[in-house]
Chains A and B, each alone.
Chain A
Amino acid sequence: MATTAAPQSSAEARPLARKKFQPAEVAFEWALRLSIALALGALVWLFVSVLTEGASSLSWDFLTSKASSSAARAGFKNALYGSLVLMMITVAVAVPLGFAAATYLEKFAPMSKDELRVIAMRRQRALEHRRGHGLSGIRLLLARIGVAASRVWATIGPPINRIVEVNISNLAAVPSIIYGLLGLALFVSIMGVSKSLLAGGLTLAILVLPIIIIASREAIRAVPSSIEQGAMALGATKWQAVRSQVLPAALPGMLTGTILATSRAIGETAPLIVVGGAAYSTKVPSLNPLQAGDQPLLAMPLQIFDWVERPQETLWGPLAAAGILVLIGTLVVMNLIAIVLRNRFSRSW
């Protein structure tokens, strides 16, 4: 084969093109690298400075000692326990509400007036049928109320759903201090909860609720509609299809979203201060969330904030830095769990 003389007529014989230097492309690539380096650099610098300051104070003693007015003896135990209880309350309240709301908004709220009317009619017929079989008294009354409610919902439901829909995403963007004010007004003033871990946990729960709802909705939406249709083509009701097929498939994604939302709540300071976070208390909170109603509102970020604010910086600074390291460590672990969950259970449909 002659490689030198390439005949013009045959496309196959044309030599392969050589690489060309393209300055714009190279410059762009380096600009991208630079911006990543800047962002990461700031983080690394922050981490290194915290590490150099706090590493000496970070010890098992630090984690297990109670708060104290003497810097030499002060530890992180109160704050650590407080944050743990806060997370338990937040998850216990926000997860069921968030998952239920996401399921409703994604799968049931889009029903039109006509579909809702059909459901109301079906209930009406079921009622007539059961009356023919001797339904009476209080049960009949309840069934009547049920039918009337589904009739009313067929009219007012869709517009209400639309309002909720629009506002969920707005809620996620509200600054966290506003949630603190809401928590103070709702739980402390109106419901009479004392300024305790309970009030703080409930406040953090409403803070993360919109984030959990949005993340869960995305996870539910990622399950192809053919799965639900397949279930319904077998004679499953909408609820059966959603509960037994769609939700289990969406669960890993929902959990990932929940962990990320919770890890945001763990670092929140402002709303806790507003709700009445204790800057300092020697009482170690009980780990039983049922007793949270009369435990002082302590948390890792509050404790760090308190230490940073103290005048003798050389004494308290290393403690604050050690606290920050613990907080960062917790966040990293939570994010790792989320990543593992996503990689382990994600599937391509």
Chain B
Amino acid sequence: MSIWELLSNLGIGYTLAVVSIGAIVIGFVTGVLSVLFVLQKRSVIGDALAHASLPGIAIGFFIVLEKNRLYMITGALITSFMAIVSIMLISKWTRLKEDTSIAVVLSFFFAIGIAMLTYIQNLSLSAQAGLEHYIFGNIAFLLLSDLKSILFLSVIVLLPVLLFYKEFKIYLFNREHAIVLGINVKFLELLLMVLITLSVVLAIEMIGVVLISGMLVAPAVAARQWTDKFAKMIILSGIISAMIGVAGAISSSQSFDLPPGPIIIVYLTLFVGFSLLFGTKSGIFQNWIHRNIFHRNVDHDELLSEFITTTTGLFQSDAMTILEFDREHYPELSELILDKLIQCGFCKKLSGSKCALTYKGIQETEKFKSERRNE
């Protein structure tokens, strides 16, 4: 008995089975990549990559006049690369901010992509069918042969993540440290860009160009609310994205008018919202509990001692007495502590990030220091 017979015995149609497997695989790969993408903190670049891949896909189609993945991928890689290079050159040669140049390049490439797709639509070729799906996505027409190339591409994307796991981790956490250790960061950045483009190409049929950056951000954001380990976050993000991908694909195939892209994004957004509220690691609810249960009974002494230990550089020095300080130099002085200190009248806010210790605050500090010396 083949797997298809098994599935059909379970009441799952062949088409739906192919579509589901496709959605799971695509979802998993984009979920994994989304962690690297989000932690790289350059999400605008990803949007540019996604939009810039559209003309490449159209060119790939033009060359062979059929939907051949290899040509489309190559085309997408080339135009995405061109987009990145133009962004870098514009940022270098003009004084435009990077996000401005990204916006310019992004809309330019996207416009060309749309123009080319429209042109292809009007060619009245039989092979052009379904090319408009690249805008909002479609997965209902996925064939078994598509599944094979999807699997192949997925392995190509996931393998480097596995191989360079350690390098990606240190690069994403602390780029400068990676450089100092002699790790080839330029190579990693290029590789990551290629991998993101590949996963864009992989997911573009299902989600569509317009919404793909959501798929590259949301799973990682959701996963982060439930774990604070890098490896776990990658796996969790892959699973979340696969589950939501398949749920979206099935919902879409049940109602033919809705393409899967928007459905998937709605599901993802709902799940991100749920995770932000109830996530065990940095969910709002958790933080609220933490703040209100654990910090309600904070007494002045504890607060002050925390304040003093984080700012000893300023106040312990015997030679200098600077009462004014800049919050930016004390990242540990959290908003919460500062608020309490202000409430207690130990501190006051000046303009911008500047703060000052009040007379009362100085007295308390002195008292605290002399107590500690006597311990």
Whether both chains belong to one complex is answered with no
Listed in ascending order, the chain A residues whose CB lies under 8 Å from chain B are: none
